[in-house]
Structure 1
Amino acid sequence: MRQSTPAVPDTITAAARILEQLAAGGVSDSAQFWHDVESVTLPLVIGVAGQPDQRDVTFVWRSAASLQGVYLRLNRITDKERVGQGLMNRLPSSDIWWLTLRLPASYCGSYTMTEIPPDTAPEALSQLGTRFTPFTGQPDSLNRQPGIRVRGDGRESVLALDLAPAQEEWRGDTQCGRGELVTWHPVIAGQTRRVRLYLPDVPDSVPLGLLVLPDAETWFDYLGVSGAIDAAIDSGRIAPLAVLGIDNVDETERSAILGGRSELVQDIAERLIPGVRAKYPDRVWAGRAHTVLAGQSLGGVTALMAARHAPETFGAVLCHSPSMWWTPDGSSRPSLFSERDDCWVSEHLLSSPPDSVRIRLCVGSLEGSTVPHVRQLHQRLCAAGVESHCVVYTGGHDYAWWRGALIDGIAWL
């Protein structure tokens, strides 16, 4: 999945010709330029002299249409208030658009390209980097690495530079596991919702851990978690475990049930998991130490609530990019949350430290105020006698690295 080790353009190669012409602001032979583009790996990744932990990454887009511009939206690099950094350059009188960004060599993130129509209103331009944008981004047609899809029909490209953690278990496309997938629709946390149990293809006598995943519609329908679990088991990276996924009803209901509320966690612990084990009495279940809940964003807070409210069920939780801004009254918002603000999530968790639960906190280095809050929570958990581990990935708020962190976390167990 990772882009190759950066090339050094010390000879006149196709990559060097591309970069020289872009820097010069003109192309002498358009056909040769696009022939060169087809022969290299894009985006182009070049080492930076004297800065071994940095890469110059050049993106190229082809469009002869009359456009106001092309916008490269790279997670937490050119989105939100940084839209200007993602506006691509056009070579005069050509169909060539390009942009070079200097990035950490360990960066992993998702991105799209947006063609901006002529005469686009300033109000629409101001929303380019937000989730309210009226435009639909496209995957990078010149990036041949598998992309990622986390909802609907929208697909994004993935940029994983050479020092980013490997994600050998993920291939980008939805994968079906070889094991048994069972689906049913119980009432959980007050709503009838789809629940799925994936049982890997291992003998019944092999002890099975249990991984519980909120946001299961993303993990199962789009990311292909069962195939990734199979690959990790096959390689010996993780011990065999089943996956119990709980869907959201819709986005509004997701916001209402995930986060710092405990109803979902308690229903999973008190009703759902005992029911699963009773349904499969011939299976050997590995027990509490290998029963883990993993969540991202609001689901990351749910993982912490599992440690706080159901420590007798969960021996470990994996918490990725938790929404540390969350409050019970709903008054807080991510954009208004600063490093200096009090964190209800931390205070609630530490009001009764889950000293029998292993906690793995992961956060993207580009997630602003979330980073210091996660680090501080880790330090306070350790001081309270909780086994806490903290890992900072180079990236943003993004399934592109969350999926890798999921397998990393299971392997850590």
Structure 2
Amino acid sequence: MTTRIPAAAEGSFPLPRDPVPQPAPALSTLPGHFRAHWQTLSVPERAQLLAGWDTRELPLIEEDPQGDPAVRAVTFLYRNPLATAVILSANAMVHPDTVSACEFEALPDGVWALTWRMPADWESSYRITVHTGALPAPWQSADDRRAVRLAADAGGPDPRNPALGTGMAGAPTSVLRLPDAPSAGWLATPTPAAESGASIMGEPARPRLSGRRNAGVPGVPTAPRQVLGNFVRGLELRQVRDRQSGQLRTLWLYRPRVSGGRRTPLVLLHDGQVWAKYQNLPATLDRAVADGVLPPIHVAMIDSVDVPTRSRELSGPKGGVDFVARDLLPELRQALPVTQDPLQTVVSGASYGGLAALWQLARYPQAAGTALAQSPSLWRYDLAEPLLAVQEPLRVRIQAGRYEPSIHEPAGRLNTVLAGSGVDTAFRSITGGHDWAWWHPWLIRGLSDLFSGQ
């Protein structure tokens, strides 16, 4: 028999707000940068580069030509003699006002190049899309931001970049981490649902294990866990009844290999299907625990089902929030050697999942008292009053990318308000967008900070 956990009064909910259009990011390009280098190469050197024998890993990363030590010149390369337009779709950078800054420059021999000046700690996923034919490229003729972004993102990962990532639906992306991004030796290679990509510099698509510079991981990452349908080898597939809807909800349970003989912290993670199937989070957790970055923990990765269900269940104060407190947590605490302490029970997620994590604390602080919210969709709700109304101790940790201003700015404001009222809170600004490329490593860093000393 489970104990009913009281919830905050529904009358205290603030009203949801409409989405806020993102402004165009500030992009600094270096037109002609690679062209100048290309013109210095001999015929054999050009042939070597075109044949893919050049040992330099792409993208090319150089010191800032303008001398700023906090900036790097990043050059992306593509080769296709039939291409009439090529665009880089880096997370949060494509906007109707930045299309020209995202398009590659045509060089001789079918080579295309694009150089950006970017902060030296930038972390991003990206794809490259090519257009052939006389008509304008789809991203050139699109008339709204969503259409531009989808058209620019229709290509594939960069085969000359060995670091792979994946998005919400498992589609493969390339990942770039510049030298000042924190190292992540425990980060395992994601496992995209499918592998595709354009031929770059004459090479066929050949996704490889995460490499030295881009991923910050050792040369031989932990092997991905096998995924067969909903079954992920090494994880326990469970279904828990949602008493309110009557439906069975799916989750993947990570058990630590060594528990130390005591009850462990518990992490509840939204969008569990992405973490379990595509992000290869279990392998990352294995390594982080083995390396002492994390203590032994249990992690329940909660399936968000599909886009309509996710939007309905995670975008507000009810639905998934009620399920976690009323059904999931009591069952997990009864079945597993996990803590009963709300402050050692962490709810986490990204985007709507991050918003749901904050609502969890506002509505059911006696069930879970710690939130690690990544890019929480705070454009939708102002949670200052609901969180400040909580009488129990809370720990709030918020992470947001500087290239997602409609999230980054309200996240910083919420942290300031909470801190001013004595709440244990912290805000981390990441040089990135709305992006799994940084959500994965910064989830581990956030948990490590929360559990340090255990």
Shorter-chain TM-score range: 0.7 to 0.9
Residue equivalent to 1:148: 165
Query: Given the two structures, how large is their TM-score scaled by the length of structure 2?
Result: 0.76
Alignment of 1:14-53 (within 5 A): 19=34, 21-22=36-37, 24=39, 28-29=43-44, 30-34=46-50, 38-48=54-64, 49-53=66-70
Once the two structures are aligned, what percentage of the paired residues are identical?
29
CA–CA separation in structure 1 for the residues paired with 2:279 and 2:69: 32
Alignment of 1:54-65 (within 5 A): 54-64=71-81
Query: Given the two structures, how large is their TM-score scaled by the length of structure 1?
Result: 0.83
CA–CA separation in structure 2 for the residues paired with 1:267 and 1:36: 52
Structure 2, unmatched stretches of 5+, are 1-32, 192-223, 227-231
Residue equivalent to 1:274: 330
Matched pairs, number: 374
Question: Taking structure 1 as reference, are residues 44 and 266 closer, same or farther at Cα in structure 2, changes over 3 Å only?
Answer: same
1:170-200 alpha-carbon deviations (Å, 9 max, x no partner): 2323333999522123333634331221111
Residue equivalent to 2:304: 248
Question: Taking structure 1 as reference, are residues 153 and 205 closer, same or farther at Cα in structure 2, changes over 3 Å only?
Answer: closer
Question: Taking structure 1 as reference, are residues 70 and 284 closer, same or farther at Cα in structure 2, changes over 3 Å only?
Answer: closer
Displacement of 1:365 in angstroms is 1.1
1:75-128 alpha-carbon deviations (Å, 9 max, x no partner): 123455422211001113x12111111000010000000011314456653448
1:231 aligns with 2:248: no
1:383-413 alpha-carbon deviations (Å, 9 max, x no partner): 1221110110111110101111100111111
Residue equivalent to 1:87: 103
Name the amino acid aligned to 2:87. Answer: Y
- Report the more deviating stretch, 124-133 or 311-320: 124-133
Residue equivalent to 2:404: 367
Name the amino acid aligned to 1:86. Answer: C
CA–CA separation in structure 2 for the residues paired with 1:206 and 1:243: 16
Any conservation in 2 of the 1:112–1:138 contact (CA below 8 Å)? yes
Residue equivalent to 2:211: none
Q: For 1:262, which of 303, 318, 330 is the aligned residue?
A: 318
- Report the more deviating stretch, 258-267 or 349-358: 349-358
- Report the more deviating stretch, 392-401 or 48-57: 48-57
Structure 1, unmatched stretches of 5+, are 1-17, 327-343
Give SS of 2:382's match: helix
Question: Taking structure 1 as reference, are residues 77 and 356 closer, same or farther at Cα in structure 2, changes over 3 Å only?
Answer: same
Superposed CA RMSD: 2.6
1:44-65 alpha-carbon deviations (Å, 9 max, x no partner): 111125310000011111212x
Residue equivalent to 1:138: 156
Q: For 2:347, which of 253, 276, 293 is the aligned residue?
A: 293
Alignment of 1:5-404 (within 5 A): 19=34, 21-22=36-37, 24=39, 28-29=43-44, 30-34=46-50, 38-48=54-64, 49-64=66-81, 66-79=82-95, 81-92=97-108, 94-121=109-136, 124-127=139-142, 130-133=148-151, 136-144=154-162, 146-152=163-169, 154-174=171-191, 175-176=224-225, 181-188=235-242, 190=245, 191-203=247-259, 205-280=261-336, 283=337, 285=339, 287-326=341-380, 344-350=381-387, 352-353=389-390, 356-404=393-441
Displacement of 1:359 in angstroms is 0.5
Any conservation in 2 of the 1:148–1:155 contact (CA below 8 Å)? yes
1:263-306 alpha-carbon deviations (Å, 9 max, x no partner): 312221221111122223xx353632221011111111101101
Any conservation in 2 of the 1:355–1:386 contact (CA below 8 Å)? no
Name the amino acid aligned to 1:312. Answer: Q
1:303-331 alpha-carbon deviations (Å, 9 max, x no partner): 110110111121311011111221xxxxx
Give SS of 2:98's match: helix
CA–CA separation in structure 2 for the residues paired with 1:254 and 1:213: 13
Question: Taking structure 1 as reference, are residues 95 and 131 closer, same or farther at Cα in structure 2, changes over 3 Å only?
Answer: closer
